[in-house]
Amino acid sequence: MISKNNQTLLNVQNLHANTQDTEILKGINLTVNHGEIHAIMGLNGSGKSTFAKVLAGHPDYIVTQGNIQFEQQDLLALPPEERAQAGVFLAFQYPIEIPGVANSQFLRLAYNTVQSKRGNDELDPLEFDDFVREKMKLLEMNPDFLDRSVNEGFSGGEKKRNEILQMALLEPKLGILDETDSGLDIDALKIVAKGVNHLRNEQNAIILITHYQRLLDHIVPDYVHVMEAGRIIKTGGKELALELEKHGYDWLHNDQQKNAGVSV
């Protein structure tokens, strides 16, 4: 990779979180610097999606211990909308349908809200229309997306593209992609990956949550973390994902046993 801006964007320390009195996250530590791409892998139920939701401030999860520093801010002190305004973006694993609300209207409100909080000018409907159509080309989206209700009746692939479109509009500092690759055919995956690669730069960072190596062929991570039972149990470079693909997660346990006594 080209040279990194080493200033820390996100610093997660000893993060514990509950939902309905069950502890899901049991002490996560993670540092993400500007310009980096981190992949988080792991089996179902290991806490990957929960971690993403806790970063975004989902009300179903209660943080019981630890802290999250986002640039100079205490992220846990902010309500979800202020986290989004500050530059945290979550591409949902299952994007929510909002019947009756036109996509164009929703996107414009989101864009203008975030822009005004960041001290930038808002766009009127016509200016926004030009702006969003330009962004849609990047993701090879049909313009009639704008007139449809938010995610309503969208195919799985359309929903995921709509998520990346929102990321392109909101220009977050931290993009968290929660299994954006699931349910995508290979062509759609390439388009989404192209979009994400286009959006990355030295000022932002991306966390990819995925089960599969194939996404990482298209969006190459700087670090790969493996989660299990609410913790990150192993961290490595992009080659770690290839190893996992080859040997499965059990291999990691064998590997761990070999290194018994070494704390991770």
Partner 1 sequence: MSAVLQNLVNQPYKHGFVTEIESEIAPKGLNEETIRLISEKKNEPEWLLDFRLKAYQKWLTMSEPNWQNVHYSKIDFQSISYYAAPKPKKKLASMDEVDPELLRTFEKLGVPMHERAALAGVAVDVVFDSVSVATTYKEKLAEVGIIFCSISEAVQKHPELVKQYLGTVVPVGDNFFAALNSAVFTDGSFCYIPKGVKCPMDLSTYFRINTEGSGQFERTLVIAEEGASVSYLEGCTAPQFDTNQLHAAVVELIAMDNADIKYSTVQNWYAGDENGIGGIYNFVTKRGLAKGVNSRISWTQVETGSAITWKYPSCILRGDNSVGEFYSVALTNNLQQADTGTKMIHIGKNTRSTIISKGISAGKSNSSYRGLVRITPNAQNARNFSQCDSMLVGDQCGAHTFPYIQVHNNSAKVEHEASTSKIGEDQLFYFAQRGIDSEEAVSMIVNGFCKEVFQQLPMEFAVEATKLLSFKLEGSVG
Provide the binding-site residues for partner 1, judged by CB under 8 A: 56-60, 79-81, 84-85, 89-90, 92, 95-96, 98-102, 105-106, 109-110, 113-114, 117, 149, 166, 170
Closer residue to partner 1, CB minimum distance, 74 or 81: 81
CA 260 to chain centre: 32
Helix segments in 70-212, DSSP class H: 80-86, 103-117, 125-138, 156-170, 186-199
**Cα angle at 113 between 163 and 90, to 5 degrees?**
30
β-pairing verdict for 37-42 and 205-209: parallel
- From the CB of 173, what's the least distance to partner 1, in Å? 13
Closer residue to partner 1, CB minimum distance, 46 or 166: 166
Closer residue to partner 1, CB minimum distance, 168 or 232: 168
- From the CB of 229, what's the least distance to partner 1, in Å? 25
99, burial (CB in 10 Å: exposed 0-12, middle 13-18, buried 19+): exposed
Closer residue to partner 1, CB minimum distance, 61 or 223: 61
| The two three-digit tokens of residue 114, written as one number | 């975030």
- From the CB of 34, what's the least distance to partner 1, in Å? 21
**Residue 148 backbone phi and psi in degrees, to 5:** -85, 160
Closer residue to partner 1, CB minimum distance, 99 or 261: 99
- From the CB of 99, what's the least distance to partner 1, in Å? 6
- From the CB of 33, what's the least distance to partner 1, in Å? 23
